Chain A
């Protein structure tokens, strides 16, 4: 008879080795799938992981795609460590984009270097407030944040839809549901001629060390971690459980809001119905694959962005179906969670006791 039992001392080394192991297993299974599809696996890996990085445009696109993922995942990880599961970052991102776009739309025609920072700030506030609602519901009514954050993501979608088909619709856009194109002062200008990478990556880059310092040094982060690992101990130490909820939801909401603002004021340049390709959800995977660690998240975010880019390259260069990208993401998460399970638990053979 086989038994699954928790390990007394899960290995720290193995916990860090789990992601590379999961990546390796993903690649092995992917190689098999490529072979089954009749594509040479090595060529497929080349197209998937190297080809997108052969040009400066490729790197620019990689960073452009990775930075919202990294930014959102940093915020989420803060809460996940405290076992506050914000899975509605997509909604907080949209609110950030909405608030930032509001600034852009109402300042259209004005000049001023303050417009863009005001947009980013509005994005942070919008996302933070959207995160504060579930925090209030949790602390006031004990409503599970997993549910409320997700539900609020749908509310955000409808709010966006109402705005772009109603009050904020481009008057000269023949009734299509989208806002005006933002004017120059409301846009992140590209850093290099011909590339899309813009100064918003600096925001993500600057916030990574901030999150790291916060996690490593601050008493607040310590309280969050204790609240997650040992709620009873946290209560005994007098750490406020409510504050944990508020801090993690508001910070993760604000981070997602900034990402939304950067998307609207960056590569998209207007408010549209389909502003985010699901960054808020993908960031959940990024946070876990990155081991909830600020640096791990950077690596995981880059990997995730590369998988998107590789998926496109694989379609263009090898006529592989688009589903390959999702397959990669799914397998990565599956193997990682599987590996984690074996870090925490072990299988034991137990002899049947005969009566």
Chain B
């Protein structure tokens, strides 16, 4: 007899679904799909995307309905999930990790009327756009704070996967630090994963034991901040505020605001004016900023970081301004020049001040 109420509820649900579908015919909301590499609760990269998704949905309340799939590995599975979303009527699909690129490219060709937006990749097409945030600007600002706060001058970065984006962030962090402390050096440990709190913690511990007293991470979990708090060193929130995982350890956070891009592009899709894009938004467009300063940061350091932020915003500052040498002594940018976006995108060498070499 226990099944009866259950069946009743199911019937009621089916009924609601029917009425909902009926009502929807009047003004059907645009379905937007999101594919995430990690869990929405990673408090880093995916969390920031999910905040952007929610803010965008709230902005277009009633006009847009979003769906997300989390923890999608960058394997053959990604293509299935993307195709699934497209075939279930999602008219715009955002895929938020580099490894989805070829899958997005394949599915985009099969669904020419659907808009595909891929974050951090380099392949585009008529209905496949690219978008990214200049995370290196955030890394640069954090570097300025790190350079001021480090006593040993030894900084540590927990790296994820050695793609140009991450190399660029490590470089920008180092350049920021050396702009206030020319003797600062950075050591990097790669964990070969975007989200692996256990490995991130191990890497942080190794960096601390090697004398690093300020850490940054280009991974997606707050494990590094947690470890720093435990060991009494400093760290930063990456992509999102992570102060609740280490209130004393977090000096500041580089916070991403994907909503800027999501709202802008969804608006275009709604109006039918969307055209393929290659967006790379930074501090200027409000897509990245430094925020959530910790109690350990003195007022003058905070002020300095905010001045740099304002300079980035005004376009007066570019982290990769020459003269710039790589850590083998080769010239990367000539004096008075800034690095072009095309070169930034394929960055494959550490700047002077970063120890070691990029894993091959």
Residues of A contacting B75 with CB < 8 Å? 268, 274-277
Q: Find out whether the CB atom of B360 lies under 8 angstroms from the CB atom of A166.
A: yes
Q: Find out whether the CB atom of B122 lies under 8 angstroms from the CB atom of A165.
A: no
Residue B81 is within 8 A (CB to CB) of chain A in the complex: yes
Q: Find out whether the CB atom of B39 lies under 8 angstroms from the CB atom of A322.
A: yes
Residue B67 is within 8 A (CB to CB) of chain A in the complex: yes
Residue B302 is within 8 A (CB to CB) of chain A in the complex: no
Which stretch from A40-48, A70-78, A223-231 is at the chain B interface? Answer: A40-48
Q: Find out whether the CB atom of B360 lies under 8 angstroms from the CB atom of A316.
A: no
Complex alpha-carbon distance, A321 and B50, angstroms:
13
Residue A273 is within 8 A (CB to CB) of chain B in the complex: yes
Q: Find out whether the CB atom of B360 lies under 8 angstroms from the CB atom of A162.
A: yes
Count residues on chain B whose CB falls below 8 Å from chain A CBs.
Answer: 43
Residue A185 is within 8 A (CB to CB) of chain B in the complex: no
Count of inter-chain pairs, beta carbons less than 8 A: 101
Which residues of A302-322 are within 8 A (CB) of B?
A: 308-309, 312-313, 315-317, 319, 321-322
Complex alpha-carbon distance, A61 and B99, angstroms:
20
Q: Find out whether the CB atom of B69 lies under 8 angstroms from the CB atom of A194.
A: no
Residues of B contacting A322 with CB < 8 Å? 39, 69-71
A43-B13, A315-B70, A316-B88 as given contacts; A64 in contact with B76, CB under 8 Å: yes
Complex alpha-carbon distance, A163 and B84, angstroms:
32
Q: Find out whether the CB atom of A175 lies under 8 angstroms from the CB atom of B347.
A: yes
Residue B60 is within 8 A (CB to CB) of chain A in the complex: no
Q: Find out whether the CB atom of B345 lies under 8 angstroms from the CB atom of A174.
A: yes
Residues of B contacting A61 with CB < 8 Å? 80
A175-B347, A274-B75, A312-B81 as given contacts; A162 in contact with B359, CB under 8 Å: yes
The contact string, 1 if C-beta is below 8 Å from chain B, for chain A 27-64, is 00000000000001111000000000000010001001
Residue A263 is within 8 A (CB to CB) of chain B in the complex: yes
- Which residue of B10, B73, B192, B347 is within 8 Å of A42 (Cβ)? B10
Residue A252 is within 8 A (CB to CB) of chain B in the complex: no
Nearest-Cβ distance from residue A56 to partner chain B, whole angstroms: 12
Nearest-Cβ distance from residue A3 to partner chain B, whole angstroms: 36
CB-CB nearest in chain A for B90: A316
Q: Find out whether the CB atom of A40 lies under 8 angstroms from the CB atom of B13.
A: yes
Residues of B contacting A196 with CB < 8 Å? 76, 79-80
Residues of A contacting B102 with CB < 8 Å? 181, 269-270
Which stretch from B161-169, B206-214, B244-252 is at the chain A interface? Answer: B161-169
Residue B338 is within 8 A (CB to CB) of chain A in the complex: no
Residues of A contacting B229 with CB < 8 Å? none
Complex alpha-carbon distance, A308 and B75, angstroms:
13
Q: Find out whether the CB atom of B73 lies under 8 angstroms from the CB atom of A57.
A: no
Q: Find out whether the CB atom of A274 lies under 8 angstroms from the CB atom of B69.
A: no
Q: Find out whether the CB atom of B68 lies under 8 angstroms from the CB atom of A315.
A: yes
Residues of B contacting A102 with CB < 8 Å? none
Instruction: Determine which residue in A41, A176, A317 has the highest number of CB atoms from chain B within 10 A of its CB, and name it.
Output: A176
Residues of B contacting A158 with CB < 8 Å? 192
Q: Find out whether the CB atom of A273 lies under 8 angstroms from the CB atom of B161.
A: yes
Q: Find out whether the CB atom of A274 lies under 8 angstroms from the CB atom of B68.
A: no
Residue A113 is within 8 A (CB to CB) of chain B in the complex: no
Residues of A contacting B98 with CB < 8 Å? 176
A162-B359, A269-B102 as given contacts; A316 in contact with B122, CB under 8 Å: no
CB-CB nearest in chain A for B87: A57
Complex alpha-carbon distance, A322 and B10, angstroms:
23
Residue B230 is within 8 A (CB to CB) of chain A in the complex: no
List of 6 A-B pairs having minimum Cβ-Cβ separation, nearest first = A267-B76, A166-B360, A322-B71, A174-B346, A274-B74, A175-B348
Seen from chain B, the residues whose Cβ lies within 8 Å of a Cβ on chain A are: 6-7, 9-10, 13, 33, 39, 67-77, 79-81, 83-85, 87-88, 98-99, 102, 110, 122, 161-164, 192, 345-348, 358-360
24 contacts between A and B (CB under 8 A): A42-B7, A57-B87, A61-B80, A65-B77, A157-B192, A161-B359, A165-B162, A165-B359, A165-B360, A174-B164, A174-B345, A175-B164, A175-B346, A196-B76, A268-B75, A273-B192, A274-B75, A312-B81, A315-B68, A315-B69, A316-B84, A316-B88, A321-B70, A322-B71
